Chains A and B, each alone.
Chain A
Amino acid sequence: MTSAPGSVTIVGASLAGLNAAEALRREGFDGPVTLIGAESHPPYDRPPLSKQVLAGDWDPDRAALTDSEELASDGIEARLGVRAAGLDVATRELTLDTGETVAFDGLVIATGARCRTLGGTEGLDGVHVLRSLDDCLALRADFDATPQRVVVVGAGFIGAEVAATARGRGLEVTLVEALPTPLGRVLGDEMGQVCADVHRDHGVDLRTGVGVDGISGDGRVQQVRLSDGSVVDADVVVVGIGVIPNTEWLEGSGLEIDNGVVCDPTCLAAAGVVAAGDVARWPNELFGETMRVEHWDNAAQQGSHAARRLLDESVGPFTPVPWFWSDQYDRKIQLAGRVRPDDEVRVVNGSVDERRFAAIYGRAGRITGVLGFNRPRHVMRYRALIEQRATYEEALSANF
């Protein structure tokens, strides 16, 4: 396709999809825009689901990103509670779970990701994952009702936040992590240990280097068996062991699927088809690496970028420095860049003991990332250096 589409269909009505729709209008696109979303809620924000909403501090309404009036006034037709079941790029048709076939011109794929689950827990009450508002409200109801003892499986960002929020509600928390340190595979063990200490300081029973062998109960969960032979009593279990991109509906579509929808550097997956957010995998030329990023900022930026690319083929590659924040207890943790656990890491500001510091990561002479504990200003400054491809030496001698 060489010219701009006459109409645009967006599949996935969450952060990336909504940002794509809004970007189309901002760019002056005045053709029909249809937003198709499997959830019945208008687009809402997920970060509060493990924080303020789960804590009970926020009404779920406060997580809304928009509402039906606003969508209507932007001329965005929202079809909510409807799932795309199939796509054919050659005939340019979508099939919906209602049985309908919808012809499209331009298409944005923004179907995000869903939680991995632990096998063998189906039908056991009290076992949760956390991705959607409905998940959050179900977990919150369990936090309100039964629970004295919560077991969180997986100490990644989501698991860590759930543990922190549960502690904030005064619940007893056991956090189980298969790796030697929480987030060790991302941050390396030195910084992973800092995360471990933060949990323990807040009264979490953190078990590292152990897996889950089984979850059992009679109708409702009662016990979690760990790989070291120990057994932990549980009223509520939250499983936070990562996500899987939602691409099953694209089987046989003609698109290349490989741990996400494979795109070119500009987010184009096929002529007139772009992808954005947690579902998209693309070569980020700034890092010379193909990536799929599961962060808020990426979904928002990539949604806009992909929409602009659909309208204008001269729009260039998408080259962000990935950036993420996580609120745990009273700490704001931020990570920018693309770090590996064996990167060199050095604290450049503040104090690890006080849990207020910035640390920068480097590999092959270049700064690869920055980690901040309550240091947003430094994270943003070093993020700019990463964007400029600064050397590690330059970054170490910068004085922010």
Chain B
Amino acid sequence: MRIVVDFDLCESNAVCMQIAPDIFEVRDDDFLYILNETPGEADRARVQECVQRCPKQAISIAED
């Protein structure tokens, strides 16, 4: 599982960071950083929650 964020859509509102702070972080420069692009299967449910709850539908999961 690889996390893909469309940075043209992302508005840095940090919803994803609240769900998975070990994977997503919005820093003081207002940009989103992906701390772990390839989390393990154990994190799938949380990443899926991020995909679903992102107000901009900016996050997707690639299976490669």
Contacts and interface: CB of A to CB of B under 8 A. Distances in A.
B11 interface: yes
A374 B30 contact: yes
Nearest to A48: B56
Q: Give chain B's interface residue range (CB within 8 Å of chain A).
A: 10 to 19
B13 interface: yes
B44 interface: no
Contacts of B12: 332, 376
Nearest to A22: B52
Contacts of A296: 55
Contacts of B17: 376-377, 380
B55 A379 contact: no
A174 interface: no
Interface in B1-40: 11-15, 17-18, 25-28, 30
B53 interface: yes
Nearest to A325: B13
Contact of B14 (A47, A300, A301, A379): A379
Contact of B55 (A47, A377, A380, A383): A47
User: Which of B14, B17, B27 counts the most chain A CB atoms within 10 A?
Assistant: B14
B30 A376 contact: yes
Nearest to A350: B28
A247 B28 CA distance: 43
Q: Which of A296, A301, A380 has the most CB of B within 10 A?
A: A380
Nearest to A349: B28
Interface residues of A, number: 17
A377 B13 contact: no
A297 B26 contact: no
A297 B55 contact: yes
A334 interface: yes
Which applies to chain A's interface (DSSP): helix, strand, loop or mixed?
A: helix
Interface string A64-80: 00000000000000000
A332 B18 contact: no
Contacts of A383: 18
A380 B14 contact: yes
A376 B26 contact: yes
B53 A300 contact: yes
Contacts of B55: 47, 296-297, 300, 325
Given A47-B55, A296-B55, A377 B11 contact: no
Contacts of B27: 377
Interface in A303-356: 325, 327, 332, 334
B13 A332 contact: yes
A332 B14 contact: no
B15 A380 contact: yes
Contacts of B18: 380, 383-384
A334 B26 CA distance: 14
A32 B24 CA distance: 37
A332 B15 contact: no
A221 to B, nearest CB: 34
Interface in A344-400: 374-377, 379-380, 383-384
- Residue from B12, B27, B55 having most chain A Cβ neighbours under 10 A: B55
A383 B17 CA distance: 12
Interface in A45-102: 47
A380 B17 CA distance: 8
9 contacts: A297-B53, A300-B53, A325-B11, A327-B11, A332-B13, A332-B30, A334-B13, A376-B30, A380-B18
Given A297-B55, A377-B26, 4 more contacts: A297-B15, A376-B14, A376-B30, A383-B18
